[in-house]
Structure 1
Amino acid sequence: MRLDILNHGYGAGTKLLFALIRLFSRHPVPDAAKLVFYRPDFYGAQAKQFTHEAMRGPSAWSIGDRELMAAYVSKVNESAFCISAHTATASQAYDDSPRVAAVLTDLESAPIEEPLRATLRMLGKLTRDGKLATNDMRDLLAAGASSQQIKDALAVCAAFNTTNRLADTFGFALLSPDDFNAGANYLLKRGYH
């Protein structure tokens, strides 16, 4: 059920901003962007800061790797909007759509490095089960992921488990492939703030 607040819950300044974005970009404002403008003091400002740091802050993981993590967590959560948005962004970041599709189709046979595969496996388990064991971390370290990479991946997981639930609760509208690609281009140029 789509909550109407995403269509009408803004002041005049924000409505004008959305109109200008639509005019100059020739694409609709995604509901993810609309959500952070609704009550920014309560959610939006903090969410943008946390997500930007997780997705674009310093990390041994590339931007493509972190966007792939976001797409993978979204797939485990079956969040259609976020799967599409972050598949498009990861595909552009890597400049390799088949690689991203392979990971989302079959993680175990996808052509990726073992530390990333093991990290995605761990993020999937955490997202599905809501918990991890000590051996999960040992396995991840043995696969070649560093302690800092694990922390960085967990930040991506936290950001997108939250975003996925909000996307589904608010009924984010699915966009066209062109609109998702335009959004991906924006995220790669400007990030999440």
Structure 2
Amino acid sequence: MRLDILNRGYRPRTTLLFAIIRIFSGHPLPDAAKLVFYRPGFYGAAAKALTHEAMRGPSEWSVADRELMAAYVSVVNESAFCVGAHTATATRAYRDGAKVRAVLADPDTAPIGEGLRATLRMLATLTRQGTVSAEDMREVLAAGVSPRQIEDALAVCTAFDITDRLADAFGFAIPGPEGFAAGAKYLLARGYR
């Protein structure tokens, strides 16, 4: 059920910003962005900071890898909005839609390195079960993933476990392919600020 709160309750200046974005982009502001503008002191500012650091902060993972992780966590969570948004962004970042589709369909057979494959398996376990074991972590480390890379992947998972649940709770509108493509272009240019 879509909550009406995403359609109202903004300051006049914010409402004007939404209108300007729509005029220049040709697309309405995605509900994920609207949510961070609603009561920014309570949720929005902290969420933007967490997500931007996880997705664009310094990391041994590429931006494309982290966008793929976000898409994969969203697949596990069955969050249609976030799957669409981050599949489009990962596809644009990698410039390889077939690779992204293959990973999201089955990371065990996809054309990716063992480190990323092991990391995705660990993120899926964490997302489904809410915990991982020492053995899960040993498998990721044995695949050549550094402890810092594990921390960075866990940050991506945290950000998108939260966002996926909010997307479903608020009933985020699902844009078409053009809307997702416009969002992907923006996210790659500006990040999550």
- Give the shorter-chain TM-score range: over 0.9
RMSD: 0.4
What stretches of structure 2 of length at least 5 have no aligned partner? Answer: none
Structure 2 equivalent of residue 144 of structure 1: 144
Q: What is the letter of the counterpart of residue 71 of structure 2?
A: A
Structure 1 equivalent of residue 39 of structure 2: 39
Structure 2 equivalent of residue 67 of structure 1: 67
What stretches of structure 1 of length at least 5 have no aligned partner? Answer: none
Distance 2:156 2:131 in 1: 16
After superposition, where does 1:100-115 map in structure 2 within 5 Å?
100-115=100-115
Q: What is the letter of the counterpart of residue 71 of structure 1?
A: A
Distance 1:108 1:24 in 2: 41
After superposition, where does 1:36-185 map in structure 2 within 5 Å?
36-185=36-185
Q: CA deviation at 1:178?
A: 0.5
Q: CA deviation at 1:12?
A: 0.8
Q: What is the letter of the counterpart of residue 33 of structure 1?
A: A
The CA deviation string for residues 77-125 of structure 1, in whole angstroms up to 9 with x for no partner, is 0000000000000000000000000001111100000000000000000
Distance 2:130 2:58 in 1: 26
TM, length-normalised to structure 1? 0.99
Distance 1:96 1:9 in 2: 40
The CA deviation string for residues 43-89 of structure 1, in whole angstroms up to 9 with x for no partner, is 00010011000000000000000000000000000000000000000
Q: CA deviation at 1:167?
A: 0.3
Distance 2:24 2:118 in 1: 42
Distance 1:100 1:8 in 2: 36
Q: CA deviation at 1:28?
A: 1.1
Distance 2:107 2:117 in 1: 7
Distance 1:153 1:132 in 2: 13
Distance 1:135 1:24 in 2: 50
Q: What is the letter of the counterpart of residue 33 of structure 2?
A: A
Q: What is the letter of the counterpart of residue 129 of structure 1?
A: Q
